[in-house]
């Protein structure tokens, strides 16, 4: 592979990982994953961790490749996606912050089929891949290369970077229960409440960014100049 292609590969790879991994933040989302699968057994959580990682990979790659096209197809803009998705994220964070279900150790076990049904919503979207990550992925994917060779190299780099993010999601969710056991019940409850509050704040921030962008797109009405009375001779 020529040196220019290697540099381009590393540029796209670092752009995808550096731009999306801090937003996805699997370490910060792991306590929420535990809270939303409260009552499920260890085997079910392992299956869910793998399914969420696969779903996150597909969703991020779809946003990178087809996100801008889908938005144009439906006449949507990134700020609209931010407002709608941020509202969903706010609702999720508020429900988790207001819920006291994880505080009860004697809660009935969560059936595996019910837990598996949560793999995409809400565990993948909006918990793991939130509207902020989708909007960033759409923005990154909108910068297409001009040559076929560069498109292929960029696609391989984006796939590799997204796979690294998905693998980090799987690792954090897969071993989240062991970390929770190490922290203990009281410390874990503190982490859960803080995580729920952070999710709520992120949802508010995403919604506000979308509203601010929509307001900036509004046409500015120019006030007519005041009429000066005619001077008498």
pLDDT digits (tens, 9 = 90+) for 150-193: 889 999 999 999 999 999 999 999 999 888 888 776 777 777 78
State residue 52's pLDDT score. Answer: 97
Mean pLDDT of 106-114: 71
Tell me the three state secondary structure of residue 127: helix
CB 4 within 8 A of CB 151: no
Which residue from 130, 147, 175 is spatially nearest to 23, judged by alpha carbons?
A: 130
**70-106: pLDDT as tens digits:** 888 888 888 888 888 788 888 888 887 776 554 444 4
> CA 204, CA 53: separation in Å to the nearest integer?
25
State residue 189's pLDDT score. Answer: 77
Q: Which residue has the higher pLDDT, 189 or 113?
A: 113
State residue 183's pLDDT score. Answer: 75
The CA-to-CA distance between both ends of the chain, in Å, stands at 85
Instruction: Answer whether residue 139 shows pLDDT above 90.
Output: no
Residue spans of alpha helices (H) in 175-230: 176-183, 185-217
CB 158 within 8 A of CB 12: yes
What average pLDDT does the chain have?
83
Mention every residue, 6+ apart, whose C-beta is less than 8 A from residue 204. 86, 90
State residue 164's pLDDT score. Answer: 97
State residue 140's pLDDT score. Answer: 83
> CA 82, CA 77: separation in Å to the nearest integer?
9
For residue 142, the tally of other CB atoms under 10 A from its CB is 13
Mention every residue, 6+ apart, whose C-beta is less than 8 A from residue 170. 49, 50, 52, 53
Place of tokens 């869910």: 48
> CA 90, CA 206: separation in Å to the nearest integer?
9
Mention every residue, 6+ apart, whose C-beta is less than 8 A from residue 175. none
> CA 18, CA 21: separation in Å to the nearest integer?
6
> CA 53, CA 120: separation in Å to the nearest integer?
10
**142-160: pLDDT as tens digits:** 776 678 888 899 999 999 9
Instruction: Answer whether residue 119 shows pLDDT above 50.
Output: yes
| pTM for this model (two decimals) | 0.79
Which residue from 34, 88, 55 is spatially nearest to 204, judged by alpha carbons?
A: 88
**11-65: pLDDT as tens digits:** 999 989 988 998 898 988 898 898 888 888 889 999 999 999 999 999 999 999 9
């Amino acid at each position: 592979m020529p040196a220019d292609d290697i540099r381009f590969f590393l540029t796209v790879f670092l752009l995808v990982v550096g731009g999306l991994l801090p937003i996805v933040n699997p370490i910060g989302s792991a306590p929420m994953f535990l809270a939303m699968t409260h009552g499920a057994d260890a085997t079910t959580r392992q299956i869910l961790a793998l399914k969420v990682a696969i779903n996150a990979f597909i969703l991020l790659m779809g946003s990178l490749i087809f996100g801008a096209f889908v938005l144009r197809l439906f006449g949507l803009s990134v700020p609209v996606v931010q407002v709608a998705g941020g509202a969903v994220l706010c609702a999720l964070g508020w429900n988790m912050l207001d819920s006291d279900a994880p505080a009860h150790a004697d809660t009935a076990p969560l059936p595996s089929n019910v837990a598996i049904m949560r793999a995409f919503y809400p565990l993948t979207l909006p918990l793991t891949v939130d509207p902020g990550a989708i909007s960033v992925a759409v923005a990154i994917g909108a910068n297409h290369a001009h040559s076929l060779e560069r498109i292929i190299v960029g696609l391989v780099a984006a796939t590799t970077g997204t796979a690294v993010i998905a693998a980090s999601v799987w690792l954090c969710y897969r071993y989240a229960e062991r970390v929770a056991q190490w922290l203990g019940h009281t410390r874990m409850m503190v982490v859960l409440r803080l995580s729920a509050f952070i999710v709520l704040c992120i949802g508010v921030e995403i919604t506000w960014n979308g509203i601010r962008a929509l307001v900036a797109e509004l046409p500015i009405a120019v006030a007519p100049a005041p009429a000066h009375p005619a001077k008498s001779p």
